[in-house]
């Protein structure tokens, strides 16, 4: 069973400013989606992502998300291997669920489970 990297997220304090920076720098198309800014890199290769201003620490970060079948099972495995849950499984309405964990050295990493289609 693989766990492909399917998304990445850039954290900031001023989402409109940072969104414009990346749009201008790379030519990414930025679209508002609730409290975040989704972007399309304009490429058929690679992964897409979003820019988010959490409103609390951590403000500045980049994290990637691996697609998994069962977020709760993966978070249990993280604990067994010496990591810890940062954000438990959380719904993104209409899209799926995400979670964050920290590896044994404290590096954050994201998990993603897409909502069923159809």
Summarize pLDDT for 13-72 with one digit per residue, the tens: 999 999 999 999 999 999 988 889 999 998 888 899 999 998 888 889 999 999 999 999
Q: Are residues 60 and 74 in the same domain?
A: no
The CA distances from residue 68 to 19, 29, 58, 85, in Å, are 28, 27, 24, 15
Q: Are residues 93 and 113 in the same domain?
A: yes
Q: Are residues 9 and 25 in the same domain?
A: yes
Q: What confidence tens digit (pLDDT) does each residue in 64-109 have?
A: 999 999 999 999 999 999 999 999 999 999 899 999 999 998 999 9
Total residues belonging to the chain: 118
| For residue 1, pLDDT beyond 70 | no
**Of 65, 84, 105, which one is at a domain's C-terminal end?**
65
Q: Report the predicted TM-score, pTM, of the whole model to 2 decimal places.
A: 0.85
Q: Are residues 49 and 60 in the same domain?
A: yes
Strands annotated E in 16-107: 29-33, 36-40, 49-52, 61-67, 84-92, 96-102
| For residue 118, pLDDT beyond 80 | no
Percent helix, strand and coil across the chain, each to the nearest 5: 20, 45, 40
Q: What confidence tens digit (pLDDT) does each residue in 7-27 have?
A: 999 999 999 999 999 999 999
Split into its structural domains, the chain has a count of: 2
Range of the domain at 12: 1-65
């Amino acid at each position: 069973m693989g766990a492909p990297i399917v998304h990445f997220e850039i954290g900031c304090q001023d989402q409109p400013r940072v969104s414009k920076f990346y749009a201008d720098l790379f030519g990414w198309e930025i679209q508002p989606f609730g409290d975040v800014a989704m972007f399309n890199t304009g490429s058929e290769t690679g992964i897409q992502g979003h820019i988010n201003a959490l409103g609390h620490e951590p403000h500045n970060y980049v994290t990637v998300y691996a697609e998994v079948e069962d977020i709760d099972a993966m978070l249990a495995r993280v604990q067994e291997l010496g990591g810890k849950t940062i954000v438990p499984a959380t719904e993104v309405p209409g899209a799926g669920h995400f979670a964050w964990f920290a590896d044994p050295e404290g590096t954050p990493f994201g998990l993603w489970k897409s909502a069923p289609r159809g």
